[in-house]
Amino acid sequence: MHTITAILVGLLFGCAIYLILQRSFIKLVFGFGLLTHAVNLFILSMSKSPLGKSAPIITPGNLVSVDPLPQALILTAIVIGFGVTAYMITLVYRILKDAHDQ
C-alpha cells in the first residue's frame, strides 16, 4: 500500500501542477485544491505502511500504532489549507470582478 500511495501522490502532484500552469485563474484554484491533497498525502506517506497497525489512540497494551506526528501536521494543514484556498478564491474573485467592471 505504501508504494501505491507514493505513485498516487506523484499522480496528484502532476495533475495539480498541470492545472496550476494553465493560464486561467479558476484552474489555478482547482489546481491548488488538488495540490493540498497531494501534499497532505505526501506527509501521510511518511508514516509508512499502515497495515497491521492501529489508530494512534494509545491504550495500555496497544503500542503498535501508526505514526501520530504526520497526522497532527496534516490536521492543521487541512484547516490552514482551507483558509489559504478561501483567501485565494476571494483574491481571484476580486481580480476578475475588478477586471470585469472596468
- Give residues 7-46 in contact with another protein (rule: CB under 8 A): 7-15, 17-27, 29-30, 33-34, 37-38, 40-42, 44-46
Least distance (Å) from another protein to the CB of residue 75?
A: 5
Give the footprint of another protein on residues 70-89 (CB under 8 A). Answer: 71-72, 74-76, 78-87, 89
How many residues sit in the footprint of another protein (CB under 8 A)? Answer: 80
Pairwise CA distance, residues 31 & 8, whole Å: 16
**Pick from 44, 19, 23: nearest CA to 34:** 19
Interface with another protein, residue 102, by CB under 8 A: no
Q: Reduced to 3 states, what is the DSSP secondary structure of residue 4?
A: helix
Q: Do 8 and 41 contact (CB within 8 A), yes or no?
A: yes
